[in-house]
Amino acid sequence: MIEVLSVTSECAPLVKTGGLADVAGALPKALEARGVRTRTLLPGYPAVKAAIGKGRTVMKDDDLFGGSARVIAAKSAGLDLLVLDAPHLFDREGAPYLGPDGKDWPDNPERFAALSWIAASIAGGAVKGWNPDILHCHDWQAGFGPLYLRERQPGAKASTIITIHNVAFQGLAPARKLKTLRLPASGMQQDGFEYWGEISALKAALVTADKITTVSPTYAGELMTAEFGMGLDGVLRLRRDDLLGILNGVDTESWAPPYKSPAGKVRFKRKLRKTMGLGEAKGPLCVVVSRLTEQKGLDLLIDALPRLLDEGGQLALLGSGDRTLERAFEQAARKFPGVAVRIGYDETLARLLIEGGDAILVPSRFEPCGLTQLYGLRYGTIPVVAYTGGLADTVIPASPAGLRAGVATGIQFHPVTADAMSRALDRLCALYRQPDMWLTIQKNAMRHPVGWHHSAGEYAALYESLISSR
């Protein structure tokens, strides 16, 4: 049995702000069938502590970045957990990274350095009777883990991995926090964790971890370019032999359609229209479930929207984010009867959108993997996606070749512009007007493998290779 310590700042269903939580919650279960036992270390936010109950204390630290802390072992939601109970760092109102005012907690560098510090301690054997083979760190919040382990316990048996879920978030801290974060002065250089005069938690992992993974093969290639690497492309090119793209999957048990075939979507589409206040239409009902940001390309949809409506299509959108985009979609909803918008997030409504929609729109300018299009495939809600990152790797385009071969599952467009998206929506509406072709694409989508089976095997093989080469 391979023993893995997975370190993450969020984990579904306990705490979630995005796709990282879904991956952190689903991957351990998929790995178990591959002979991998995962224990997940995450911060003791109030919601997490409420979910696990009392638990069992397995480690203490009397001086963890400003206060005392303990690690609680517990089981919850089918996960084997190690929860970092550090009230001075995590027992506070607000989201995991943001205060009630919507701004980053000013001590985020210390909060997640603490998570990494404890991860390194556990990887070095601080929990009695358990010495993990692998320290698997997710994103910048766990980025100092490999460095702390190397500096504090260079003889530890655990091999280290960092998984990049989104390179745009790098965990930057001012250089004056070098000692506060317990970092070696030697690392404050170009070949270390220094990033334009600041400290980068993500870069610390990229230059220290034994292996680097990211969440799709195409994104792995994109990361080594100036366009997508966010200033870390040079580091990643130097480590190209240690960089591997492994597609994310979804938990197919929790994301299981309440119907066996596309015909079952009809009543959910009717319910969705009623919920969102939309009438009947001759074109496809398109849905969006997304953060409203420039990265997600939703400004392109604003420009392309009249074309969809001219073709008889509709739009139902659930999301929040950039206030300019929120206002633009709210204005579109007031102007066009075929547009309905809900600002915010509602898990029940999000599922209804995916259950009842005809197509799901994901026009991201960059997308490391994306889970939304995978949910769409699972439910026969045809993805319309930009050709980038994991969107390129998971959707088989309805090109002439894809249609002739009978394998198409969605529509891709490139370049990532409003004009290209308008043409993609034209294509969507044209296919929708061909019921037999549309049904074939829906069935293909619902058959497409979106679970963790294959990817879990790739992670298990990576773990095995690290252990054998140690």
Domain extent, residue 289, equals 262-447
* pLDDT above 90 for 18: no
Q: How far apart are CA 233 and CA 221, in angstroms?
A: 10
Which amino acid type is present at position 174?
Answer: P
443 & 457 share domain: no
Tell me whether residue 161 is in a domain.
Answer: yes
Q: Please compute the mean of the pLDDT values over residues 50-55 and round it to a whole number.
A: 93
30 & 74 share domain: yes
Tell me whether residue 188 is in a domain.
Answer: yes
Residue 262: pLDDT band (50, 70, 90) is very high
221 & 288 share domain: no
DSSP conformational letter for 105: P
70 & 127 share domain: yes
Predicted confidence at residue 64, as pLDDT, reads 98
Predicted confidence at residue 322, as pLDDT, reads 94
Predicted confidence at residue 5, as pLDDT, reads 98
77 & 109 share domain: yes
Tell me whether residue 254 is in a domain.
Answer: no
CA 405 to chain centre: 31
Q: How far apart are CA 142 and CA 158, in angstroms?
A: 15
Q: What share of the chain is helix, strand, coil (3-state, %, to 5)?
A: 40, 20, 40
Number of structural domains found in the chain: 2
* pLDDT above 90 for 76: yes
* 154 preceded by a cis bond (ω within 30 of 0): no
Tell me whether residue 255 is in a domain.
Answer: no
Q: What are the pLDDT digits (tens) for 298-327?
A: 999 999 999 999 999 999 999 999 999 999
188 & 302 share domain: no
134 & 272 share domain: no
457 & 438 share domain: no
Radius of gyration of the chain (CA): 23
End-to-end CA, the chain: 16
* Residues annotated within a binding site: 16
Tell me whether residue 47 is in a domain.
Answer: yes
205 & 280 share domain: no
* Residues annotated within a binding site for ADP-alpha-D-glucose: 16
55 & 158 share domain: yes
Tell me whether residue 54 is in a domain.
Answer: yes
Q: What are the pLDDT digits (tens) for 413-439?
A: 999 999 999 999 999 999 999 999 999
Residue 312 sits in a domain whose CATH number is 3.40.50.2000
Tell me whether residue 256 is in a domain.
Answer: no
277 & 244 share domain: no
List, in order, residues 6 or more apart from 230 with CB less than 8 Å away.
Answer: 167, 168, 170
Q: How far apart are CA 251 and CA 253, in angstroms?
A: 5
397 & 457 share domain: no
Tell me whether residue 66 is in a domain.
Answer: yes
Predicted confidence at residue 270, as pLDDT, reads 98
